Amino acid sequence: MQAVPPGATIGILGGGQLGRMLALAAARLGYRCHIYAPEADPPAGAVAAQVTRADFTDRAALARFAASCAVVTYEFENIPVAPVAELAATVPVRPGIEALRITQDRLLEKRFCQQRGIATAPFRAVGSAAELDQAIAELGLPLVLKTRRMGYDGKGQAKIAKAEAAAAAFAALRSDELIAEGFIGFRRELSVVLARGADGRIVSWGPVQNIHRNHILWRTYAPARLDDRLRNDAERIAASLAEGLEYVGVLAVELFDCGDRLLVNEMAPRVHNSGHWTMDAAVTSQFEQHIRAICGLPLGSAERLCDAVMENLIGDEVKTWPALLAEPNAKLHLYGKAEARPGRKMGHVNRLYPLGQAPQL
């Protein structure tokens, strides 16, 4: 693959904070970014060379967007596949369409893991109330009923603890494309963020541990304190999934640590919240690495320079910015969002510690 030279324009589908941080990383390498997003004043637009505001199904707007770009990537996976596939006929799209198709559908994702010989929670496809009853009979209770697409930060899912609650849960999700997953009593949640280059080389930042509040990631501890067996298993699983997808770019794999084994929870075909710590604590951040990968550049080192704890700033927590700036070991990153709403990620702070000296969970 011929490298995309600095000075070229990178197209980014989506204008949120991930697109913003990708555009900032691209600028440091000499690239311009063109943001394509349906909303007005997207956070990424403030740091990009160009912005197109249009729906993801607007084929004429997408064609004009493609004509301006040397390569296109996406900052989130909830984008219709068909128009992106048309885009890929005229400009390289990385990661590829197959990665987008599989990772935006929880059922396809679980089946893909099965094909790779990678364990997940037991699951069943659910398209009707009768199929939900059958899933309960086969998986037992409790279980989690989820929409196959569009769910994030706890949205689009319901825990069912009693059979009599099943009908209400099915009706509340308002979809006939659902997946039922057996409930997993895990010890902790881990994730592995890695990059795979166009040449197949994989570079990983290693497993980290994630803590959630109200279904939203609150803190990430880097590194996760694991024995060598679990650490190696986590790395192997993530690499296998990236290879199976013939992936180019940064991929995140979320895992449940069940003590004696790891189960894949889900994948994200993009830079990921649990990789934000790399901006200040690694030789190469996940954002720079993604730009390197999609442009066909050599991947950078993922060596960890120090330990880190990343904390998301949700809603009004962003108002603590003066105190955060006063912390000697804190690096503050704000996303430029005008309104602090409950549950909205407004920024994050990376607290840095000497190697081996981060707080223990």
Query: What whole-number distance in Å separates Cα of residue 23 and Cα of residue 46?
Result: 10
112 inside domain: no
Residue 169: its pLDDT value, please?
92
Angle formed at CA 278 by CA 272 and CA 284, multiple of 5 degrees: 110
Residue 360: its pLDDT value, please?
80
Q: How many CA atoms lie within 13 A of 250 on its CB side?
A: 32
Cβ-based neighbours of 174, under 8 Å, separated by 6 or more: none
The CATH number covering residue 144 comes to 3.30.1490.20
- Identify whether residues 203 and 333 lie together within a single domain: yes
Residue 156: its pLDDT value, please?
81
Query: What whole-number distance in Å separates Cα of residue 185 and Cα of residue 176?
Result: 27
* pLDDT over threshold 80, residue 151: no
DSSP 145: E
Q: Burial level of 92, CB count in 10 A (0-12/13-18/19+)?
A: buried
* pLDDT over threshold 90, residue 154: no
- Identify whether residues 60 and 142 lie together within a single domain: no
The CATH number covering residue 259 comes to 3.30.470.20
- Identify whether residues 221 and 168 lie together within a single domain: no
Angle formed at CA 312 by CA 31 and CA 218, multiple of 5 degrees: 135
Label residue 279 by pLDDT band (50, 70, 90): very high
Query: What whole-number distance in Å separates Cα of residue 159 and Cα of residue 168?
Result: 11
Express each pLDDT in 109-137 by its tens digit. 999 999 999 999 999 999 999 999 999 99
- Identify whether residues 171 and 22 lie together within a single domain: no
- Identify whether residues 66 and 205 lie together within a single domain: no
From the CB of residue 339, how many other CB atoms can be counted at a distance below 10 Å? 7
Amino acid symbol at 178: L
102 inside domain: no
Express each pLDDT in 256-278 by its tens digit. 999 889 999 999 999 999 999 99
- Mean pLDDT to the nearest integer, 323-348: 96
Query: What whole-number distance in Å separates Cα of residue 289 and Cα of residue 11?
Result: 16
- Identify whether residues 130 and 237 lie together within a single domain: no
Amino acid symbol at 147: T
Query: What whole-number distance in Å separates Cα of residue 215 and Cα of residue 225?
Result: 22
The CATH number covering residue 51 comes to 3.40.50.20
4 inside domain: no
Q: Which of 90-104, 139-153, 192-206, 340-354 is predicted least confidently?
A: 139-153
Query: How many domains are there within the chain?
Result: 3
Q: Which pairing describes strands 143-147 and 157-160: parallel, antiparallel, or unpaired? A: antiparallel
332 inside domain: yes
Query: What whole-number distance in Å separates Cα of residue 58 and Cα of residue 16?
Result: 19
230 inside domain: yes
Supply the range of the domain harboring residue 162: 122-182
Residue (of 1, 2, 153) closest to 76 by Cα position: 153
Bridge-partner residues for 213, per DSSP? 216
Domain boundary among 77, 93, 109: 93
Express each pLDDT in 160-210 by its tens digit. 999 998 999 999 998 889 999 998 889 999 999 999 999 999 999 999 999
Dihedral of CA 163/164/167/168: which sign? negative
- Identify whether residues 197 and 262 lie together within a single domain: yes
Query: What whole-number distance in Å separates Cα of residue 5 and Cα of residue 226?
Result: 40
Express each pLDDT in 97-113 by its tens digit. 999 999 999 999 999 99
Query: What whole-number distance in Å separates Cα of residue 299 and Cα of residue 201?
Result: 8
- Identify whether residues 232 and 262 lie together within a single domain: yes
pTM of the model: 0.95
Express each pLDDT in 11-65 by its tens digit. 999 999 999 999 999 999 999 999 999 999 999 999 999 999 999 999 999 999 9
Based on C-alpha coordinates, what's the Rg of the chain? 20
49 inside domain: yes
Label residue 152 by pLDDT band (50, 70, 90): low
32 inside domain: yes
- Identify whether residues 83 and 136 lie together within a single domain: no
- Judge whether 218 and 75 are in contact, CB under 8 Å: no
Query: What whole-number distance in Å separates Cα of residue 71 and Cα of residue 57?
Result: 19
Cβ-based neighbours of 343, under 8 Å, separated by 6 or more: 153, 214, 216, 314, 315
Query: What whole-number distance in Å separates Cα of residue 56 and Cα of residue 65?
Result: 11
314 inside domain: yes
Residue 260: its pLDDT value, please?
86
Helices (H), the chain: 17-28, 59-67, 81-88, 97-103, 106-115, 129-139, 166-173, 228-244, 278-281, 286-294, 321-326
- Judge whether 351 and 318 are in contact, CB under 8 Å: no
Label residue 81 by pLDDT band (50, 70, 90): very high
Express each pLDDT in 209-260 by its tens digit. 999 998 899 999 999 999 999 999 999 999 999 999 999 999 999 999 998 8
Per DSSP, the residues of 243-294 read HHTT--EEEEEEEEE-SS-EEEEEEESS--GGGTTHHHHBSS-HHHHHHHHH
